[in-house]
Each structure stands twice: as C-alpha cells, then as structure tokens.
C-alpha cells in the first residue's frame, strides 16, 4: 500500500543527504506550474527550508503556467525568481538561422535547454544542486528533453509513477488547480503529455507496474523505451583495442 507520508519523509531525507554529500548548500529547480515541479519544490523546501530556490522561466509560455507556479509558491512560501527567456530564445533562433516553419520539436527542445542552462547557472552561483521534475512514467519511455529536463544533478521523483506523484501532491497540499489540470510540458500551444505520448498515464503506469496493457500500447511503450535508451545512459565512449 502506497503511503505518501512515508515516501515524502524518505525522499526528503534522500535529498538532504545527497545534497550535503556533494558539499552543496541547497537546491534550485524550475517551477513550471505543473504537478511534478510543484511536488519537487515542496520536497526540496522540506529538505532545505532556507536554501531552496524556484525559478519561473517563461519562454513564450501560457500565462496560466506562471499563475499556477505563483499559486504554489505563495501557498508554501517558496523563494521565487522569474527569468523571462523570450528574447534569448529569439536571438538564438536568429543566430542559427532557424526558419519560421522550423520543427516544433526542435524548437521545444531549445526552450527546455535554455531553461536548464539558466537553472545550472543559479546552481553554480549559489552552491546548490539542480533538481529535475521527471517522474518514473516519463523516465521509463524517455518523455523528456535530453540535456533539458534531464540536465540536472538529482531527480527525486524518478522512481514514482504519475499516479503516485498525484498522491504525493495531495499529501503535500499542492493547490487543486495544479493537481486537476491536464498534464503538459507547455512547449507549444495545445500540447498535452498524453496526446503526444499517444497513451494515457494510467495505461503507462499499469504497464510499468504490472506489464499489463493492450498489445498496441505495449508495442508503443517498448518502442519508446528502445528509442530513448540513449537518454538514460552516459554517452557512448570508444574503447581502444
């Protein structure tokens, strides 16, 4: 039986021990307005009440994302800084001659990687570790940006499937507006996680936990696991013979 209370206590202790063992002083993370980042922010706040920084990093983002990020920050007294990345994104696209009809996936990855550059800058500046919001459901199939969401020092919820993240969120008193919203990475207008994955989180979680799924869902999950293996491994290194 999943106990959110016990898991929160264990995860907070792990964050604290891991950060201190790295001779760091605290944690920094991106606060996106979604449930995963909200949960991670509150776990980090429990581990380092005075040394947890949350960055809101809009990059042509939906205003609702920032509204929800500020909602959890205000409710739980989180330290927040806002860094607007629109002009940085525009200038970068200009320098690389990105066409107007460029791939939305490639452009979405630029946004994620700009945010991670920003996050790691603040980590270095403050002597903190950068913390990522990827959960086990996303980690399993590689549903995150390589060197973007994954460009962090620690991933506290990467062993919790999405339905367990919701249990943690309820226990941590994440605002209902965030818990009840449709999951999205917010990388382009109208994007949702489940539409992009072509399956529901419920189907994905069930497969991870029991191996049970309709054949077409199994096939898709196994395909995504195989294609994303490079995301979960250190870069290949040539060995001299």
Q: What is the pLDDT of residue 176?
A: 95
69 near 33, Cβ under 8 Å?
yes
* The pLDDT value given to residue 115: 98
* pTM beyond cutoff 0.85: yes
Selection from 82, 8, 20, 71 nearest residue 45 by Cα: 8
Q: Can you name the residues that pair with 128 across neighbouring β-strands? A: 26
Longest dimension (CA), the chain: 59
The pLDDT score that the predictor gives to residue 201 is: 96
Instruction: Write the CATH number of the domain with boundaries 4-232.
Output: 3.40.50.620
Q: Are 194 and 169 in contact (CB under 8 A)?
A: no
Q: Where are the domains of the chain?
A: 4-232
Q: What sign does the CA torsion over 41, 9, 232, 167 have?
A: negative
Contacts of 93 (CB under 8 A, 6+ apart): 102, 107, 110
DSSP string, 134-186: --HHHHHHT-S-TTTTT-SSB-TTTTS-HHHHHHHHHHTT--HHHHTSPP---
pLDDT (tens, 9 = 90+) of the chain, 241 residues, equals: 899 999 999 999 999 999 999 999 999 999 999 999 999 999 999 999 999 999 999 999 999 999 999 999 999 999 999 999 999 999 999 999 999 999 999 999 999 999 999 999 999 999 999 999 999 999 999 999 999 999 999 999 999 999 999 999 999 999 999 999 988 877 777 789 999 999 999 999 999 999 999 999 999 999 999 999 999 998 888 899 8
């Amino acid at each position: 039986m999943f106990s959110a209370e016990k898991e929160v206590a264990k995860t907070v202790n792990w964050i604290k021990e891991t950060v201190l063992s790295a001779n760091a002083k605290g944690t920094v993370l991106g606060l996106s307005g979604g449930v995963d980042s909200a949960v991670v922010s509150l776990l980090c706040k429990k581990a380092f009440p005075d040394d947890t920084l949350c960055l809101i990093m809009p990059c042509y983002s939906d205003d609702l994302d920032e509204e929800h990020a500020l909602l959890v920050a205000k409710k739980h007294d989180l330290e927040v800084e806002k860094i607007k990345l629109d002009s940085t994104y525009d200038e970068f696209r200009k320098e690389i001659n990105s066409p107007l009809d460029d791939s939305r996936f490639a452009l979405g990855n630029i946004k994620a990687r700009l945010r991670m550059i920003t996050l790691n800058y603040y980590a270095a500046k403050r002597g903190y570790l950068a913390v990522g919001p990827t959960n086990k459901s996303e980690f399993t199939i590689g549903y995150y940006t390589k060197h973007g969401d994954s460009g962090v020092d620690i991933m506290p919820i990467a062993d919790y499937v999405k339905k367990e993240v919701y249990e943690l969120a309820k226990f941590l008193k994440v605002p209902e507006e965030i818990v009840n919203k449709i999951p999205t990475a917010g990388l382009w207008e109208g994007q949702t996680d489940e539409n992009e994955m072509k399956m529901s989180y419920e189907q994905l979680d069930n497969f991870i936990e029991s191996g049970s799924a309709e054949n077409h869902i199994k096939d898709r999950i196994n395909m995504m696991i195989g294609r994303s293996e490079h995301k979960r491994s250190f870069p290949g290194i040539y060995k001299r013979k």
